Structure 1
Amino acid sequence: MLSTPVSEPAPHLNYKPELLSPAGNWECARAAVANGADAIYFGMPRFNARLRADNFTEEDLPELMTFLHKHGVRGYCAFNTLIFTGEIEDAEKQLKLLESAGVDAVIIQDLGLSRIVKACTPKLHLHASTQMTITSPEGLRFARKLGLDLAVLSRELSLRELAAFPKPDENALPLEVFVHGALCVAYSGQCLTSESLGRRSANRGECAQACRMPYELVVDGELRDLGDKRYLLSPQDLAAVNEIPELIKLGVRSFKIEGRLKTPEYVAAVTQVYRKAMDAAFAEMAGLPHGEAFSAKDKYALEMTFSRGLFSGWMHGVNHQELVGAKYAKKRGPFVGEVLYVDRDAVELTDFATPLKPGDGVVFENPSDTNREQGGYLYGVHENWIEFQRGKIDFRIVKPGTRVFKTSDMALEKELQASFKGDIAIRKRLELHLRVSGMIGAPLVLEALDAAQQVTARVESAMPLDVARNRPLTREGLQSQLERLGGTPYELRHLDVSLPDNAILPVSELNRLRRDLVEKLEQGINAATSIEVKSATTAAEMLAAVPKPRAPIASPVLHVLCRNMEQIEAALDANVQRMYVDFEDIRLYSDAVRLVRESGRDGLIFLATPRIQKAREDGFFKLIARAEPDGVLIRNLGAIEFFANAGLRMTGDFSLNVANPLTAEFLIESGLEQCTISYDLNIEQVLDLLKGAPPEWFEITLHQHMPMFHMEHCVFASFMSNGKSFLDCGRPCEKHNVKLRDRVGMEHPLKADVGCRNTLFNAVAQTGALFFQDLMNVGLRHYRVELLEETGRETAHIISTYQGLLSGRTSGVSLHQALKAQSQLGVTTGTLRQGDFR
C-alpha cells in the first residue's frame, strides 16, 4: 500500500492561532467567512451579552452550522450572562440544542453554568468568557477547575502581563485575547452601572453604555474646566494589528474581534485586515516571502467602517493621556481637516488629510453636543472646497476651526459588500485522506478516513475491476481524478492505494465515485444538526444534589464594611460582630487590625482584596496575610487559592457574581465560608437562590452606594495630571476629593485603589430593608452594611438603624423613611426592587 502526502504545511508553528470574528446576524456571518475568519461567535435570543444584536434563532442553527463547517469555519455561541436559579433548566435546554446542532463551543461567564456544560453537554467545548474576569495566572489556574478548553482574558492586560501566563503545550490552557473593537472602560463582568442607574444589567446583556455619556469633573466641590473634553469614560477603540507578531510569539491561540452590534461591512473589513496581518506574521516566521502586513489602505478601512479613534489599548501598559480622548463617544472616521471659511452650502477646509469625493459622508464636530452635529453627503469637491445639496446643512452653527471627519465611503462599502454577496468561495478546505482498494472481479472501494484512520464515508463502483490491456490504474492517475474537488469544501491531502498492478476502471466511473463520496461527506456535515447526545446527568439532578436549606436557629448578624479608621472606631463602639475593611492604601491594613485587637472587643476583622489582581500582584495578597486578620473578603478568583493555603477564613464578595446554587456550591467547596449574593439579582431572584441552597452559605448587602464602574482607566491621572501612569501622575487621587457629575446633575464619588484602578460609586445609597422580613423567612442570617464617605457620627447612626432592624425594634419601612430623611441625596430600594423585567 502506498501512502503519499499530496502537500504539507510549513512546519514553523506546531499550532496555528485562529482568527475569531463577530456575527450579530447572517450577513455578518457571511462577511466573516468570506474574508478569512477561522471561527465566528454569535448569540441566541436569550443568555447572551449582546441582546440588542439581531442574533440567531433555534431555526437558524442547523443551516448556520452547516454553512460554517462546509467552509471549514468553527462556530461558538456566546452564552455569556449570569444565570438565575429559575433559569437553569431553560439554559440546559438551550445548551442541548446547541450541542445537537453541532456548535463547536460555548462562551460562558457563569461558573455554575460552566459546570452544567461539562456534565450535561459533553460534546460542547467550554470557553471562559472575558466576563469571567480572568486577569492573572492565579485566576486562570482556579477557573481551570471548571474544565475549560480555552479562556478569554480581560482586555486590560499588557503584552508584558500576557507573557506571565503559561505558554501553550499539552498542559497549558489555550488563551484568547481581543485584538480589535470597542473597549469597555470597566472590566468585563464588573460593570454595574446599567444595573445601578437603570435596572439594565450588563451581566445580562442589557448594557446601556453609560460610559459613552458626557460627565463633568468636580474636584473638591468645584467644577473643573476641561474645555471640550466631556466624554471622560469613553475609550478609543482597540486596534492591536501591529501587535499580532508579538501575540503569536507569546502563544496566544485565538485573536478575537469585537463587534456583534456592528455592520457586515465592519466585519468584512476588520476580518480582512487581521487575516492579512496574521498570514504575514506566519510567513515571516517560516522565512517565506510576504506582502505588507498593515498598510495605509488597511488603516483607512478600519477607520471608515467604525472607529472612535484607534489605539493599542492596554497592550503596552497604561497610558492615561492616550486611552480616552474624551472629545466624542460615537463613530468618527478619518480626520479630514478644519473649516477655514463658510459659504452658502459649501465650506473651505485646510489641506485634506483624507481624500474626499462626491458621495462621501462627513460630519462637522460639535464637542459641546455630539447629538446635534451637522453632516451629510458631499455634492461636490473642488480643491479644498466641499459642497452640499442646498439646505441640507445648517451652516449657522458651523464655525471656522471646526474639525471635519469622513464618516462614509460608498465605494469602500460596495467593495466590502461584494466580498460576501452571492456565492462565497471555500477558502479553507477540509483535508481529505482517501483510500482506494479492490480486487479483479470485485468493485473498487473508495473510502474517506479521519485523523484516527476511521472510515467516515464509503462508496463502491457499480462495475467490477477488470484486467487492463494497456493502461492500468496508477496512483498518479487516481490522484489526477480524485483531487478534482473544486467547488467542494475538500482538498486531497493523502492518498492510499491498494490495487493489483493490472486493474482498470473507466474514468467516468471514477468521477462518479468521487462525486458520490463528496455527497456522503456533506451529508455527514448536515447530520451534525441532528446529533442526539445523552449525558450522564441533568441540571435538575445537579440542583437536587446541592445541600438543602436547614431550619435556621441563629439570630441575624450585621457585618459592616469600613473605608477609614473613623468608621472602624464607630463600628467598634457599636459592637459590630464582623468588620470588613476596604482601604485605598492597603499598607494601612496592619494598623486597622491593631486598632481592632487593642480595642478589647470581640469583633472580627476581615480585610478586602483588590477587586482585580494581575500577574505579579500577589504581593498585595502577601501584605494582607502579613496583617494577620481574622479573614479575607475575596474579590477575585486569583485570591481564593492563595488565602485557602494561608489558612484564613474567606467570604466571597459580590464581584464573584454568585447568581445560582451551582455557582455557590463550587465556591463553597473551594473554601469560602459565605458568598455575597450578586447585585444583579432582584428580590424574587434572591429568594429563589436562598431556597435552592443553604442560606448559611450567603450574605447580602442591605445598604450601600453601588460600585458602578471599576476600571483600569484612571480619571485622576488622565484629567488632573499630564502623567501616563502612577509613575509620573503626581498621585492627585491622594490629594483631592473627586466626583463625576452626570447629565441629570448627580455627583458620583470616584475612588482609586491600591492598583490605581478607579471605582465610580453611585451618589445615592440603596437599601434592601423593605425586604428584610422576606429574607429572614427563608433563613438568611448574614447582612452587610457598606460605608463610603460617612463620618463617624453618620456611621454610628446607620449602624444603629440597621441593628434596630435586625433586632426587630424597627421595621424595614420605618428604616427606609428614617434614612431617606437623614441623607441629603436620599435612599432607594435600588436593584432589589420587585417586578424587575429581567
Structure 2
Amino acid sequence: MRKIELLAPAGDWDCLRAAVANGADAVYFGVDKYNARVRAKNFRMEELKDVMAYLHKYNVRGYVTFNILVFENELEEAKQLVEACIDAGVDALIVQDLGLVKLIRDLSPDFPIHGSTQMTVTSPEAVEFLNPYHLEVVVLGRENNLTHIQKIAEKTNVPLEVFVHGALCVSYSGQCLTSEMWGGRSANRGECAQACRLPYDLIVDGEQKEMGNVAYLLSPKDLAALDLVPELIEAGVSTFKIEGRLKSPEYVANVVSKYRKAIDEYLAGRHYTPSTEEIRELQQSFSRGFTHGFLKGTNNKQLVDGTFPKSRGVFLGTVKKVLKDGVLCELQAPLKRGDGIVFDAGRPEEKEEGGRVYDLRKHGKKVEGEVEKGLVEIVPGRHDVNLTRVRVGNRIWKTSDQELDRRLRKTFETERPYQLFPLTVHVYGEAGKPLISTWRDETTGNEVIVQSEQMLDVAQKRPLTLDFIKEQFGRLGGTIFELKDVYMHMTDNVILPVKELNRIRRQAVEQLIEKRQRPRLYIKQAVDLTSSYRQKQRAENPSLMALCRTLEQVEAACHTDVDMVYADFEFTTDYPKAVQIARTTNKPIALATPRIHMPGENGILRGILKAEPDAILVRSLGAVQYYTNQSIEQTLIGDFSLNISNHLAAQLFLSRGLDRITPSYDLNIQQMIDLLEAAPTEHIEMVIHQHLPMFHTEHCVYCTFLSEGTDFTNCGRPCEKHRVSLRDRIGMLHPVRVDIGCRNTVYNAIEQSGAEYIPHFLSLGVRSYRVEFLEESAKKVEEVITLYREALEGKRSGTSVWRTLKAINQLGVTRGQLIKK
C-alpha cells in the first residue's frame, strides 16, 4: 500500500511542536512575506535550518509554502528564498506560480515541488500539464469530489493531496479576485480580506428577497472529513491536509491527533467511526458548523448556513427562560463551570452577550462537575452577561473549554516524540581491543560506529552478556529511540565498565540525531534571471477584440470594426449560433472555455471545437492540455485565470502551445509595466475594459436560495428564469452569473477601464487589446468599442474615454486593479 501522509499547518513554533507531538507526518509553514497567509506569524528565512533540523529529528517532513503569484520585480528575492530552502534541506516547496515552478526547475532538477491548490488543478489533464516539471505532489481543488479524485488518481502516478479539515473558501482557490478589487489585498498574494464572510442582500429580478436572518450568503461552513478517511484513501488520496496556519497550537494538536487516529485505525484494518465526543472537541477548537464540503458531491443546502460567518464552537441548546441571574436551557452537549458561552441572537455583526459559566443549577440547586444533558440553569459571571439583552429562543454556544485546552497543551509543552524510533545494534570485540558498536536507525537507515575508549579486558567473573548489553544500551529514556535488537559478535569472554557502555550509548544517540538533522542535499545550479525581451518597439495598428456574453452583443460587435469577437456564454450550446453570426459578417470569432475543468467535462471542450471557431480562449490548465494534446488549427489564447504575473510564466505558457496570453488581474500598472518590459509583448493581450469577475465558485446561489433542490439534478434551473445580484453593505449590486458547469461568477458592480494606460502599453509593443461586456445593450456595446478604437488610434485620450464612460454608465467606472496601489 502507498504511504499515507498527514500534513499539518504551522503558523509559529508552538504550532510546529503541536503538530509533531500529535503525529503529523509532515508540516507546512510560511517564510517571511511570500506565502498565502501573510497574517500568520510565519518563520524567518534565517530560521529555516533550525526548523528543518527540529522536524527531521522527529522524522517529520517540512514543506515551505510559496503559494502566491510572484511579480516581475520580486523574482530575484524569490530566487534567494528558493536557494535558502535548498540549502536548508526543505523537503518541498508548495508553489502556485508556474513561473516560479520554471525558476525552481532551472535552479535545481531534483528539488521537490508540490503544486498548490492555488493552481486550480481539478482534472487529469491539469495534472498531465504539470508532468514536464516533475512535481512530487499535486494538491487538488477543494471542489473535487470522491468520484473526481478517483478518476484523477486512476490516470496519474503523481501522489494527490486533498484538504480534509478547516476553513473552506467559497471561491475556487487561485480564482478569487474580490480582495484585489475592493482593497488591493489579493488572495493570490496571501492578503485575503474575506469578503465571502460579509453580509449580502439577495436581489432577484431587481427586487430584494426576504431572507430572515440569513445574510451571509457566501460564507461556507468548515470542512470536516474525519469520517471519510477510509473513502478518501480508497479513492487514491496520498496526503491528508489540514487547514489552519492562522489557528492556535491547541487547534493543531486537536485536529492532528484526531486524523492521526482515523488514518492509523484504517491502516490497521480496523473499522473506525468518530465518536460524538471527538466531533465536539473538533468543533470546540474551531467551527463555523461542519460540512463534507464537496467531497460527497455538491449539496448547496448543506454548504452554507448563512446566519453567521465566524467560529461558534459547540451548540448547547436554546434559551427556554431568562432568570434573574441566568438562563434555563435544555442541554444538548456537556457543560461545566469555567466554560465559555455566547448567546446568539441572530445578529453576529453586533456585540453579543457571553462570558464564563460561573455556576450550573438543577431545580435551583448547585450542580458540581460536568452536566451531560438535560434541563439546567446556566449562571454566567456577574459582570460577563447583560441578561436584559438575552431573549427566549436565543441559541447558546460553548465557545471555549479550558480543560480541553489544558489537555491539548500538555501534548506539546514538554518536548517528547509522538513515537519512539527503533535501533538495531551490532557489537564486536575481543580482549585487548576496543569494543566496536554499529548503531542503525531503522527508520532512516542511518548508521554510526562508536568504539570504546577503554580496551576490553578478559572477564574473571562476570563477562558481558547479550542481556546485560541490552539492558545498558536500552536505557534510552528521554531520547527519541527505543532498542529493537542487539547482536553480539564476541570472540572472548570480556568485560567493560558500565560507565563506558553508557558513554557509548549517549554518543551513538547524539551522532544518530545529528545525522537526522543534516540538511538534505540537492543539486543547485546558477540561474540568470535577465530577460531577453528588453528591447521594445511601439505597436502599430493594434488589434481590438470584444468579448460578448449574449447573442445580441455578438451581433452588435460584429457590425463594428473590432478585429475579433469572443463569445463567453453561460450555456455553450449557443456557441454555434454565435459562430454563424460571425461568419455572416466575415468576422473572426473565439469561443471561451469554462474557467474550471473537471473530470468528465471534456465533452464541453469537444463541443467548442465542433462549433469550428477561429480561436479558443483557454481558461484552465486542463483545457490547455486537452487542446495542445490534439493537432488543431485554432489559435489558443490563454486568459487571465492562468495567473501569469511574470515573464517566466509567460515563457512557460507560450512554450506549451499558446499563441497569446492574458496577464493576471492581480497586477497593478507598475507591476504590469515590469512584466511587459520583460515579456514578449507581441504575444500579450491586455484587457482594458470589463466587469471584474470576483468570486468563481461551485456554490450556486440560485440553487441555494431560489430552489428546494440541492444541485443541478433537482434544482429546477432557476438560473434560466431569474437574474440574481448580491447587494453589498454600501448598496452596490454585483451580478451573479452561471456557467455550463453550474458554477457561479460574481462580477463587480462597476465597470473598470484601463484606457488611461493605453499609451504605456502601446509604447511597450502590446498589439492586442480586449474589451469585455456583461449585461450591456447592443447600443452600449457599439459606443464602448468606438471609444476604445479611437483611443488605440490616438484620436481620443484615455482621460476622455474615462469621462465619456462615466457619463454613459449610471454607476460610473473605476480604474480597477491597475490603479497604482
Question: What is the distance in 1 between the residues matched to 2:501 and 2:605?
Answer: 69
1:67 matched residue in structure 2: 54
1:510 is displaced (CA, Å) by 3.1
1:823 matched residue in structure 2: 809
- Change in CA separation of 1:463 and 1:807 when aligned onto 2, cut-off 3 Å: same
2:371 matched residue in structure 1: none
- Change in CA separation of 1:452 and 1:499 when aligned onto 2, cut-off 3 Å: farther
1:225 is displaced (CA, Å) by 0.6
SS state at 1:60 partner: helix
Equivalent of 1:43, from 19, 30, 47? 30
Question: What is the distance in 2 between the residues matched to 1:444 and 1:251?
Answer: 50
1:360 is displaced (CA, Å) by 1.5
1:217 matched residue in structure 2: 202
Equivalent of 1:87, from 65, 74, 80? 74
2:369 matched residue in structure 1: none
2:323 matched residue in structure 1: 343
Unaligned runs of 5+ residues in structure 2 are: 363-375
SS state at 1:42 partner: strand
Q: Answer yes or no: is 1:303 the counterpart of 2:283.
A: yes
Equivalent of 2:305, from 315, 318, 325? 325
2:366 matched residue in structure 1: none
Question: What is the distance in 2 between the residues matched to 1:744 and 1:152?
Answer: 37
Question: What is the distance in 2 between the residues matched to 1:27 and 1:205?
Answer: 22
1:334 is displaced (CA, Å) by 1.7
1:569 matched residue in structure 2: 555
The one-character-per-residue Cα deviations of 1:726-764 (angstroms, maximum 9, x if unpaired) are: 111010111111100011110000000000000000001
Contact 1:72 1:429 in 2 (8 A): no
1:459 matched residue in structure 2: 450
- Change in CA separation of 1:495 and 1:693 when aligned onto 2, cut-off 3 Å: farther
The one-character-per-residue Cα deviations of 1:132-161 (angstroms, maximum 9, x if unpaired) are: 111011101112322201111111111111
> Which runs of structure 2 are paired with 1:402-801 in the superposition (5 Å)?
402-421=394-413, 423-432=414-423, 434-437=425-428, 441-448=432-439, 456-465=447-456, 478-492=469-483, 499-500=490-491, 505-528=496-519, 535-538=524-527, 541=528, 543-544=529-530, 549-552=535-538, 554-599=540-585, 601=586, 603-644=587-628, 645-647=630-632, 648-801=634-787
Equivalent of 1:388, from 370, 380, 399? 380
- Change in CA separation of 1:474 and 1:831 when aligned onto 2, cut-off 3 Å: same
What is the percentage of aligned positions where both structures have the same residue? Answer: 46
Q: Answer yes or no: is 1:266 the counterpart of 2:266.
A: no
Q: Answer yes or no: is 1:359 the counterpart of 2:338.
A: yes
1:274 is displaced (CA, Å) by 1.0
1:553 is displaced (CA, Å) by 5.2
Question: What is the distance in 2 between the residues matched to 1:274 and 1:527?
Answer: 29
Contact 2:538 2:763 in 1 (8 A): no
1:250 is displaced (CA, Å) by 2.1
One-letter amino acid of the structure 2 residue matched with residue 537 of structure 1: A
> Which runs of structure 2 are paired with 1:37-186 in the superposition (5 Å)?
37-121=24-108, 124-167=111-154, 172-186=157-171
The one-character-per-residue Cα deviations of 1:16-49 (angstroms, maximum 9, x if unpaired) are: 3111111111111111112221111111121100
SS state at 2:336 partner: coil
Question: What is the distance in 1 between the residues matched to 2:675 and 2:51?
Answer: 36
1:488 is displaced (CA, Å) by 2.0
1:243 matched residue in structure 2: 228
- Change in CA separation of 1:294 and 1:453 when aligned onto 2, cut-off 3 Å: closer
2:353 matched residue in structure 1: 374
1:390 is displaced (CA, Å) by 3.3
Question: What is the distance in 2 between the residues matched to 1:744 and 1:209?
Answer: 16
Question: What is the distance in 2 between the residues matched to 1:605 and 1:252?
Answer: 41
1:118 is displaced (CA, Å) by 2.6
Contact 1:281 1:293 in 2 (8 A): no
Question: What is the distance in 2 between the residues matched to 1:39 and 1:99?
Answer: 17
Contact 2:166 2:244 in 1 (8 A): yes
Question: What is the distance in 2 between the residues matched to 1:259 and 1:454?
Answer: 33
Equivalent of 2:294, from 308, 314, 319? 314
Q: Answer yes or no: is 1:197 the counterpart of 2:182.
A: yes
- Change in CA separation of 1:672 and 1:361 when aligned onto 2, cut-off 3 Å: same
Question: What is the distance in 2 between the residues matched to 1:337 and 1:806?
Answer: 64
The one-character-per-residue Cα deviations of 1:603-644 (angstroms, maximum 9, x if unpaired) are: 321111110011111111111111111111110001112212
Question: What is the distance in 2 between the residues matched to 1:546 and 1:458?
Answer: 54
Contact 1:50 1:261 in 2 (8 A): yes
1:29 matched residue in structure 2: 16
1:333 is displaced (CA, Å) by 1.5
Question: What is the distance in 2 between the residues matched to 1:613 and 1:108?
Answer: 20
Contact 1:362 1:404 in 2 (8 A): yes
SS state at 1:759 partner: strand
SS state at 2:318 partner: strand
Contact 1:200 1:207 in 2 (8 A): yes
Question: What is the distance in 2 between the residues matched to 1:675 and 1:473?
Answer: 75
One-letter amino acid of the structure 2 residue matched with residue 39 of structure 1: A
Question: What is the distance in 2 between the residues matched to 1:81 and 1:532?
Answer: 26
What RMSD, in angstroms, separates the aligned Cα atoms of the two structures? 2.3
1:5 matched residue in structure 2: none
SS state at 1:166 partner: helix
1:794 is displaced (CA, Å) by 0.5
One-letter amino acid of the structure 1 residue matched with residue 268 of structure 2: A
SS state at 2:144 partner: coil
Contact 1:366 1:372 in 2 (8 A): no
SS state at 1:183 partner: coil
Contact 1:448 1:456 in 2 (8 A): yes
- Change in CA separation of 1:279 and 1:105 when aligned onto 2, cut-off 3 Å: same
One-letter amino acid of the structure 2 residue matched with residue 420 of structure 1: F
One-letter amino acid of the structure 2 residue matched with residue 377 of structure 1: R
Question: What is the distance in 2 between the residues matched to 1:229 and 1:243?
Answer: 29
Question: What is the distance in 1 between the residues matched to 2:601 and 2:126?
Answer: 12
How many pairs align?
A: 806
Worse-matched range after superposition: 82-91 or 58-67: 58-67
One-letter amino acid of the structure 2 residue matched with residue 61 of structure 1: L
One-letter amino acid of the structure 2 residue matched with residue 230 of structure 1: A
1:459 is displaced (CA, Å) by 2.4
Contact 1:546 1:661 in 2 (8 A): no
Question: What is the distance in 2 between the residues matched to 1:795 and 1:273?
Answer: 57
One-letter amino acid of the structure 2 residue matched with residue 797 of structure 1: E
- Change in CA separation of 1:367 and 1:546 when aligned onto 2, cut-off 3 Å: farther
1:356 is displaced (CA, Å) by 2.1
Q: TM-score, normalised by structure 1?
A: 0.92
The one-character-per-residue Cα deviations of 1:764-787 (angstroms, maximum 9, x if unpaired) are: 111111111111111111111111
1:806 is displaced (CA, Å) by 0.5
1:397 matched residue in structure 2: 389
SS state at 1:371 partner: coil
Unaligned runs of 5+ residues in structure 1 are: 1-13
2:368 matched residue in structure 1: none
Contact 2:639 2:661 in 1 (8 A): yes
The one-character-per-residue Cα deviations of 1:344-370 (angstroms, maximum 9, x if unpaired) are: 342222x11122222222111132443
Contact 2:161 2:240 in 1 (8 A): yes
